[in-house]
């Protein structure tokens, strides 16, 4: 009897804990946050106390977001964002320091993209390179362009004034899918053919790099005085070609250098079976070194981190190091990004932009994404599935996978930190799109895959 009651109550219990945790943090932050931070700031012997308290709270919120969603279809990222919004006053010591904020978020993003490269099998990446490149290169451009027009049109229809900078950047920032959200969903699914799975995972990793390149290119343009079409036409200028050539060339070069660093570690560990903490330190340092070195020469640090992970093949003697690396990503890097992005959001503004944000997200997921996928990959539907072809249901499945997560969140923070003109609505609309793609897509992905017959 007791067991049956427990089973009946358990499905709702995690959500109750989520509501209680978010509500408690919001209450403390709103009613006592200023007083607590003021008291911490008065500690002359520990002037860094407010920042230390913020970091401690990030760790606790990471713990809560993981355990509150464990065993549920709700991604922990959603709870992390909610906790970031609820405790925004407590995170102010970090958010207010743009240098520290940028370093934390960018470093975490480099590590996540490096992990995305590790997750993608190089052989599968090469095999599906043509399809993946179509989705991640022209596909991202088409998605970004279409999304910008959707944001502009829906904003005007709903009476929300949005400046060109916000409209253009939202398209670029949100155009990519995200491996941090997609890979955990795919890991528990058994596909009849690996093609659809490998394509969406590889696309998510590569499109993040493309989205980052597109966003950085736009940030360098005078967007405030440009139309959407003019901004995209500016990308074909010689100066932009040189910029992209440097970004890609040095990104790949220092990605290979990052792989060489990992090869050295792997070679050393073949002769030293014992495990040491410095092994993990070296492993963590590699994507940051690749990122920074590429950036110094004008290359894409994100591309360098991804290439380093993509080229490295983890052998058995490195499995323990890699396992610890993934644990730190799940427990620290990912929650850190979403908590801080949540902390950037003003709850009142989030509510004010809800109509346009929700409308953009739904149009994005169910109109723009399918249209882009069939435009880019539709020709493969006419080829034999036993060769290079894709079935209609596989194309539908790829169309449904539209999670937008960590890297777009990083790019939101980057844009806010680097643009001096008003960008009202940028974070709020971007947050609605991220939230809805993470709430709707992951729980339904296994069901959609089974209904379409692409997975068991």
- Summarize pLDDT for 382-438 with one digit per residue, the tens: 887 767 788 999 999 999 988 887 788 888 888 887 887 778 899 899 989 988 988
Identity of the highest mean pLDDT range in 9-18, 118-127, 137-146, 230-239: 137-146
Mean pLDDT of 210-226: 89
Cα 68 versus chain centre, distance: 21
Beta bridge partners of 191: 455
Ranking 28-42, 157-171, 380-394 by mean pLDDT, the lowest is 380-394
Report pLDDT for 322: 79
Residue reference for tokens 């939202």: 170
Q: What percent of the chain has pLDDT over 90?
A: 32
pLDDT above 90: residue 189: no
Report pLDDT for 291: 93
CB 79 within 8 A of CB 68: yes
Report pLDDT for 4: 45
State pLDDT tens for residues 323-349: 788 888 888 888 888 888 888 888 888
Tokens coding 174: 């949100």
Identity of the highest mean pLDDT range in 97-101, 238-242, 360-364, 404-408: 360-364
Report pLDDT for 2: 46
Report pLDDT for 10: 59
Is 435 buried (19+), middle (13-18) or exposed (0-12) by CB count in 10 A?
Answer: buried
pLDDT above 90: residue 355: yes
Ranking 41-50, 119-128, 226-235 by mean pLDDT, the lowest is 119-128
Q: pTM of the entire structure?
A: 0.82
Q: Is the dihedral of CA 415, 417, 423, 425 positive or negative?
A: positive
CATH code for 100-452? 1.20.1530.20
CB 370 within 8 A of CB 441: no
- Pairwise CA distance, residues 136 & 149, whole Å: 20
- Pairwise CA distance, residues 153 & 145, whole Å: 12
pLDDT above 60: residue 252: yes
Tokens coding 359: 């409308």
Tokens coding 401: 């996978």
Report pLDDT for 5: 42
Domain ranges (residues) in the chain: 2-96, 100-452
pLDDT above 80: residue 184: no
Encode 362-395: b = buried (16+ Cβ within 10 Å), e = exposed.
ebbbeebbbebbbebbeebeeeeeeeeebbebbb
Question: Which pLDDT band, with edges at 50, 70 and 90, does 180 fall under?
Answer: low
Mean pLDDT, the chain, integer:
86
Question: Which pLDDT band, with edges at 50, 70 and 90, does 269 fall under?
Answer: confident
pLDDT above 50: residue 7: no
- Pairwise CA distance, residues 377 & 379, whole Å: 5
> In angstroms, what CA-CA distances link 336 with 199, 236, 307, 328, 349?
28, 36, 23, 11, 22
CB 81 within 8 A of CB 22: no
pLDDT above 90: residue 142: yes
């Amino acid at each position: 009897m007791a067991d049956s009651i427990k089973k009946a109550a358990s499905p709702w219990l995690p959500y109750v804990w989520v509501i209680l945790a978010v509500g408690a943090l919001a209450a403390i932050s709103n009613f006592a946050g200023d007083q607590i931070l003021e008291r911490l700031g008065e500690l002359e012997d520990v002037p860094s106390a407010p920042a230390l308290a913020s970091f401690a709270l990030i760790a606790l919120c990471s713990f809560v977001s993981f355990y509150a969603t464990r065993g549920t279809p709700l991604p922990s990222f959603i709870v992390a964002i909610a906790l970031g919004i609820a405790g925004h006053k407590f995170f102010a010591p970090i958010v207010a320091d743009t240098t520290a904020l940028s370093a934390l978020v960018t470093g975490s993003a480099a590590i996540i993209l490096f992990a995305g490269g590790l997750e993608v099998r190089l052989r599968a990446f090469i095999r599906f390179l043509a399809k993946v490149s179509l989705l991640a290169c022209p596909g991202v451009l088409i998605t970004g362009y279409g999304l910008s027009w959707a944001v502009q049109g829906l904003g005007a229809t709903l009476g929300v004034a949005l400046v060109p900078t916000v409209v253009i950047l939202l398209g670029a920032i949100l155009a990519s899918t995200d491996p941090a959200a997609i890979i955990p969903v795919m890991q528990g699914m058994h596909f009849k053919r690996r093609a659809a799975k490998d394509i969406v995972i590889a696309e998510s990793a590569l499109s993040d790099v493309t989205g980052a390149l597109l966003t950085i290119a736009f940030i360098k343009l005078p967007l405030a005085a440009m139309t959407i079409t003019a901004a995209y036409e500016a990308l074909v200028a010689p100066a932009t070609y040189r910029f992209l050539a440097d970004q890609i060339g040095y990104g790949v070069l220092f990605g290979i250098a990052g792989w060489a660093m990992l090869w050295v570690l792997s070679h050393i560990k073949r002769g030293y079976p014992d495990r040491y903490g410095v092994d993990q330190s070296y492993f963590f340092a590699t994507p940051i070194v690749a990122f920074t070195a590429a950036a110094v020469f004008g290359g894409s640090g994100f591309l360098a981190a991804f290439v380093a992970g993509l080229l490295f093949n983890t052998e058995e003697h490195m499995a323990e190091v890699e396992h610890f690396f993934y644990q730190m990503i799940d427990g620290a890097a990912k929650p850190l990004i979403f908590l801080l992005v949540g902390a950037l959001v003003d709850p009142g503004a989030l509510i004010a932009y809800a109509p346009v944000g929700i409308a953009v997200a739904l149009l994005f997921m169910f109109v723009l994404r399918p249209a882009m996928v069939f435009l880019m990959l539709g020709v493969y539907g006419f080829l034999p599935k036993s060769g290079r072809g894709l079935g209609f249901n596989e194309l539908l499945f790829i169309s449904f996978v539209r999670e937008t997560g960590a890297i777009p969140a990083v790019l939101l923070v980057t844009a806010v930190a680097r643009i001096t003109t008003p960008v009202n609505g940028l974070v709020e609309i971007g947050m609605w799109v991220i939230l809805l793609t993470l709430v709707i897509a992951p729980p339904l992905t296994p069901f959609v895959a089974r209904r379409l017959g692409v997975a068991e």
